[in-house]
Structure 1
Amino acid sequence: MTRTGERAALVSAGLMVLSIAASSAMGSRSGLLVFSGLMPFQMLALIQSCVVYLRLRLERMAFEEARDLAGQAPTADSRLFDETSGGDLPLTLSRTRHQVEGIVPFIAPVLAILTATWAWTLYRDLVWTARESSFDLPAMALLAGQGFVLFLLHRYLLGLAGEPSLRWLRGPGVMTGVTAYGSVAAALACLAHHVGLVQADAWIGMTLVVLLVVHTVELVWNSLLSIYSPHRDTQKATSYETKLGAWLIHPSEWTKPLSESVDYQFGFSISRTWFARFLRRALLPFVGFQILVIYALSSMAIIGPNDVGIKERFGKPVQPDPLLMSGFHWKWPWPFEAVRRVPARMALLTHLGVDVDDTLLRPPQILWTVPHFPGEDLFVTASLSHKGSSAVPINLISLHLPLEFSITNALDYAYRYANPNQVLRDTAYRILTRELSSRDIGEWLSSHRTEIADIIHRELQAECDRLALGVKIDFIGLQGLHPPIQVADAFQSVVGALEEKEAAILEARAYTNRILPLATADATARVSLAEAYRDRRTKLSEAEVAQFHNRKRAADTAPDVYRARLAMEALHAGLIGNRLVLLATPSASSEVLWLNLEDDPFTSVFEMVPLEPEGINP
């Protein structure tokens, strides 16, 4: 046996010691959490390297001791006594190796206890929040170099583990690979921390702690398998190795159980064909890479312009500021963090009293005798007209109440109630039912609907504020109010009679409004005419009295002159407007005169020329 495996295990242990020392120094200097999360994996790789080194060394020394004793043993011809019943040779190193192999099955439980304690200590004592650090770039350089060196060591150990005699190197090789990949992830976290994403340090650190918990569960499972598995000897020898880590860093391991099952089903080694090797080496790793990329995409969240995102960590909002505005955001991958989207930047609409089907076309005019919507609720209203009678003082009515609201507090809306929309609808139904039962149906079918809608709006907003629902009521409308379809015809007849009654009342009021002003005007005119006649007769009487007194004074002063003047005035008054013809004929003449008293017809404008005076020549 060669010492290649021992040297490889010893080199692995030495590099792990240097890695632990460098990580401890940089972790205490920088304060980054990734170093605390990476330290348990480095210690596990160191412990496994030391165990494998001890096992390989004892196995080699026991083999050499057995070979040397076999070379010094006497031949059968030179023996004086037959020692066939004498027992085994006293090989000290072989006995020591067997004792060490008996201790190996207990390594997995001890490591499980150690890792569980370590994980709990890290989770309890460390503050997993974003922190500033000025050593992020040196830490990134250290982790990147450490990851590169450990990756080369990991590939070297796995290459040696391919030999059956060096199979035990697989454990430290896998754990070294896990540490290498963890170092690369930690280096990326330091880079993200440097560019401003300070949460990346806590994310990667917590991820490493979660992986440590998973490895603890695997160690416990391997310990149980080493006790109850049919292949107990093989399981005991490798119970501290991590198969999940091998699947994580070596995708070809995923196909090994499947290949064994296929070989068993077909009866020959189909997994060793070129096609199976191609699938295992090329296609399956590519598919695995795609799966990892798709899983990594769960770390991105895009919030639309109408939404507000709430970042959740293990189902609870991340404090102190869990709200995400529209845009692109980073988060932990699922299931560690998720984003709940709330439509807080758009108007939301719900319908009360009806079942709205947007696919159905509604006619522009709908009568009471046909359904307005596919499903309509019936509400109870008061009936003041039946007050004091034996009839039940209620009526039934159907209505459509569109309710528009917007979200003002996304946290209250998302977390106070399992179904906030249903809570809002139930609250609106309760307030609407209370208002309906306190008012007559005539108020709902009349012009009071706007006032009633305002009252419902105020009461619903106050109730939503009391319940801390996180919404603002923007609009409430009362539409499509009508009696039940079964009594719509009778109700429409009653409404028609009421309309005729109102029309007659309005017509009488119009007649009253038309006649009263006319009667008032006629009475006023008659009074005015009587007053004018009275004033005229009074003034005329006064004037006649004054005229009589004046004439009496004139007659007393000059009776003859007065009488002559009166005669002339009477003659003048009688001749006004009459044609007068004077004839100078003797009174006893018997001459007959023919007079043409007709007016001369108007023949031309020349007749309008004045006559020239006699005796004047032009």
Structure 2
Amino acid sequence: MRVDHQACQKAASTAGSGLLLQIGIAAILLIFGLLARDTAFIFASLWVWIGVVVWVGILILYFQQKLERLEALEESELAIDDNSSMFDGEGENIRPAAKRLKLLHKWVMPSVSLILAFLLAFTGYVLIQHLRLLESPDDTLRTSLYLTSLTGWALAISLAFALTGFIFSRFVAGMAKVPTWSNLRGGSSWMVGNTILLSAIAVGLVFRFFDNDAVLVWVCWAIPVFMIAVSAEILINFALNLYRPRIAGQLPRPAFDSKTLSLLAAPDSFVRSINEAINYQFGFDITSSWGYQLLLRSFSWLIALAVVALLAVDTMVIVEPTQQAVRLRQGAIVGDVQEPGLLWKLPWPFETAQVVEVSRIRELPLTFQWKEDRPVYLWSDNLDTLAVSKPKPFIVTGSSNSGDATSEDVLALLDVRAVLQYRIAKDGLLDWLTFGSDQLERRTQRSKRELGLLAITQQSLTTMLQTKTLNEIISSDRANFTAEVKEALQSKFNSLETGVEIVSLTLPFLKPASSDRSTFEGVSVSRQAESRLISASEGWADNVLTYTVGDSALVEPVIEAVEAYNNARSDWDALRTSGASSADIEHAKKRMDTEESLAMTLLRKGNGAASIRIDNAHVTRWVEMLDAWSRASKVRGQITAYKASPEIYRQRTYMAVLARRLPQLRKYIVGIDPNRVNVDLELQTINPLLNFSESIDIDQGAGN
């Protein structure tokens, strides 16, 4: 084909048409996505809007190439006359259009490719982060993925634009086979990208008619991944273009011209490339042989046989010994539960089989989860940093119900980590399947069935925690509490027909949620100190009692006997002071004497300190009694002498006292008239250690 400005004008017109079509598709997709609230259409419109840059670059490139061709035509007309060679030797100085075209190929097109790669990668990253928020429980903005209710209109728009884009891409791909129009391949590949995304959205919309939104959600995830993949291919093409040798007269291929998408725009060339590769591997033209031709003629029958074989295999489902299965027809359960063995069903899509592991023990965290396992978790640890999500404390009674009216209104917060282990109950598979589905809810990563079980369990746990005090929960009564919760929860599961059998309900971590949790450690230390003090006191009491009684086996009988004696003595005293009859008093006294005799017998049998002290008391009593008796006898013996002569008895007794006491007294002999004597007595006792007068007298005597 002749390369002139007319051919470039045709390519520029085609690029302009592609630009208008790209803008129209992008605008309609974006407007419909915003008005109808559909996330998939908004995501797809971002890809289409980025493709506008491709068509703008191709349009500018061919417009400049047209100017270059016109400039070359003018130069050739001026060069017809051999004598008019005034412009010879000037080169590019007289061809500015060619210089600008070269500048476009060298700098502008690579720059456009890098801009496209950046836009695709950045947009894909932002979209993935947006979708990840849907799965995050910490999404404060409550990000949502919208699916339009106008499914019919959405399907019509997506199919219409997908068909339009495919036809236009095929047309442009046909033009790109001409070397002059080869740069149109970039626009054709981008239009194929539009077709791929819109076709995927159309497939997801078709599944929405069957109440299956998961396919469209996957399409929303696939769009940013597709953008990042194309961005990576553009960067690879850019790097290869730096080292690819240039052929004279061949137009350079922009990096945004995706070879992968170009194959989809021209599938016939793809098949032709496969044939050439097969011939190359075998070393001869195998595609022209009779075997290859027979394979091509029988290809449809082979495909049909494979489909029939797949359908036949799909009618059989093997149920393992730990499994049970049911047949589903359009989502409804058909027939009874299939026990382990071979299950026969209609092929897909008429019937499907759902196989469930009924013996597997499942675990459901009821509260928070740890980020990583540690051997020990302390009350002083910050749970906000150790837990995956911030714990939500439970309410319990702050103190025991003691009679104090003010204590009944005190509440406390308790951080609880609770884990429920359960399995499908025997003959409970149908209840299990009808209770909820396995569809995962966004942000929670839990199925609807698990969310239902979680709500029921948390409600029961919260209700029962409010009936307990804080001391009861954090003490050894925790095991009894978990057993009560398990029993109540199993009854509730049975009443709601969940098909669940609870294996265990554990509370591996409990702590007060308030900042005063350190005081609980002080309580524990005080309780340990109290236990040590009680143990030491009991040991001291045992030692004292054993020392007192003498035999440790008689301690308790002696205590009981002494208490019985004290009670009998109290009764006897009460009867005497209350004016009871003498018979009652006498009976009480006999009872007291009996109890006293029993206690004394036990004490003497033990032969301890108490028995020894009682014996000593008896000895002392007899000694004092005999001494008093002897003095009384002596006095009685002197009565006769007193009666015979009282005065002589008094004088004799007086002289006997003087005889006993005068020898120990200090006596002074005065030889003058007593009336002239003035005696000054100082009744003080001098400390012998401080009596220096005697020492002075002794020294003076020695000096003389």
Pair member with larger Rg: 1
After TM superposition, the score normalised by the length of structure 2 is: 0.39
TM-score by length of 1: 0.44
